[in-house]
C-alpha cells in the first residue's frame, strides 16, 4: 500500500518570547518590531490551494510546524 500523503514536521524555538501561535497565520500579523510578516499566512494559503495543510502547535518550549500534502492525482 502506497502512502496517500507526505508529511514534513519542523520543530524549533520561537524567535521571540511573546510569540503568539494563534496569530502567526493571520494576514495582519506583525513581528516584534512591528513589521508585517505574511510568510506563514502565505505558506498556509499555498498548501491549502494544493489540497494540503499547514498547522502549528506548541510542544513544551518549542513550536512545531507540520506541513502535509496529498500524493497522486486529485
Write down all domains in the chain, each with its CATH number in brackets: 5-70 (3.30.565.10)
- 3-48 confidence digits (pLDDT tens): 788 999 999 887 766 667 778 888 887 777 787 878 889 999 999 9
Alpha carbon 35 to chain centroid distance? 19
Tell me, yes or no, if the pTM score tops 0.85: no
- Sorted by sequence, the CB contacts under 8 Å of residue 4 that are 6+ apart come out as 70, 71, 72
Q: How far apart are CA 56 and CA 22, in angstroms?
A: 9
Amino acid at each position: 500500500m502506497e502512502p496517500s500523503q507526505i508529511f514534513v514536521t519542523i520543530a524549533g524555538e520561537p524567535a521571540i518570547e511573546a510569540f503568539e501561535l494563534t496569530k502567526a497565520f493571520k494576514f495582519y500579523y506583525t513581528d516584534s518590531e512591528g513589521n508585517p510578516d505574511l510568510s506563514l499566512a502565505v505558506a498556509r494559503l499555498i498548501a491549502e490551494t494544493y489540497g494540503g495543510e499547514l498547522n502549528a502547535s506548541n510542544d513544551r518550549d518549542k513550536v512545531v510546524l507540520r506541513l502535509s500534502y496529498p500524493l497522486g492525482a486529485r
